[in-house]
Chain A
Amino acid sequence: MSGLGESWIDGNVLAGGLREVFAVDLTVATARCAGCGRTGTMAEARVYPQAPGLVARCVGCDAVLLRMVRAPDRAYLDLHGLAYLEVPLPESAG
């Protein structure tokens, strides 16, 4: 049980870094892959933590969904692989 095939972990690990930037937990959001159109929960994406930062890839086609790099005084977030996000929110009268 070793090798690059198992070097990924679940999207759950994105939770802390994304919560530094966003007010909601994006790991429970439904995400659509801009590459193949597959939708799934962000927490189910395959995350490769070996890069400088975190790279999340689509379970269906392996395309990059999201890249996140944290520098001491800022975060870099590449979201071009996401066609949309559906985010659960509390019910609002508005």
Chain B
Amino acid sequence: MARAAVLGRLTWQVATVESARTETATARTLVLAVPGWPGHLAGQHVDVRLTAADGYSTQRSYSIANAPEPDRVELTVQRVAGGEVSPYLVELAEPGDRMEVRGPVGGYFTWSPDAPDPVLLVAGGSGIVPLMAMIRTRAAIGSRAPFRLVYSSRGPDDVVYQAELDRLAIGGSGVDCTYVYTRSTPPGWPRAPGRLSGAELAAAGWPAERRPQVFVCGPTGFVEAVANHLVDQGHLGHRVKTERFGPTGGGA
């Protein structure tokens, strides 16, 4: 198992943009060709380093979006206003462009495909990305672990992977999706816009007695609120894994 593996030295590798997909007005998926990429665990991330012509270089950490596959990494990047790296990745990077990546890294926020336990995924904004890697990995290996996703977005136009999630929701795939909108809703939506409440989370998730594995990813304030609800509902701390990405970055 990877969490106990002794690993080789981690080095930067050259990645080439193979293609790009627009996901929302502010998010884009880059498909990167990374020769020799060893695959990854669902939920892991990769560090990306950009170096300018004058030698200035800067790096950021991004969650991996795809199920593991050889020689390929997909990143879904949300543009952060005033950001140094994300505007380039979301708006400018083109097929053929190169950047450096190192990874996969981080063995904590990962789903083990051999675990049969029910899984609750709670996403705030672009916190959906590592959770989508778990959903895609589940499908790729044919796992029957029952998944429930609770996905909070500002509005319907901010939902990443909507079409793919809709396909999953049809036909008893074992992945149930619940959407919460905090600022604007689709027409006729039965719920007024607002933050995810503890009662809504309890209704859409699993009872603590089922001992689900829970993964929560989103802005720091969103993850704090959700983690507190989960503890109040009796979920055990070590079964709730969190990934906070700071004050903003995707809008929950």
Contacts and interface: CB of A to CB of B under 8 A. Distances in A.
Interface of A: 1-3, 6-13, 15-16, 19-20, 23-25, 27-28, 41-44, 49, 88-90
B243 A88 contact: no
Given A2-B247, A7-B247, A28 B222 contact: no
Contact of A9 (B102, B103, B244): B244
6 contacts: A3-B247, A11-B108, A12-B45, A16-B45, A28-B107, A43-B109
Contacts of B109: 10, 12, 43
Interface in B1-53: 3-10, 45, 47
Interface of B: 3-10, 45, 47, 61, 102-103, 105-109, 219-222, 224, 241-248, 252
Contacts of B9: 20, 23
B222 A1 contact: yes
Given A6-B246, A12-B109, A25 B3 contact: yes
Nearest to B241: A43
B244 A10 contact: yes
Contacts of B219: 1, 6
Contacts of A12: 45, 106, 108-109, 243
Contact of B107 (A3, A6, A16, A25): A25
Contacts of A6: 219-221, 224, 246-247
A15 B47 CA distance: 9
A71 B105 CA distance: 20
B7 A19 contact: yes
A41 B108 contact: yes
A27 B107 contact: yes
A14 B160 CA distance: 26
A19 B104 CA distance: 10
B10 A19 contact: yes
A7 B219 CA distance: 10
Contacts of A27: 105-108
A17 to B, nearest CB: 8
A90 B50 CA distance: 35
B242 A90 contact: no
Contacts of A28: 3, 107-108
Nearest to A24: B6
B39 to A, nearest CB: 15
A90 B103 contact: no
Contacts of A7: 220, 246-247
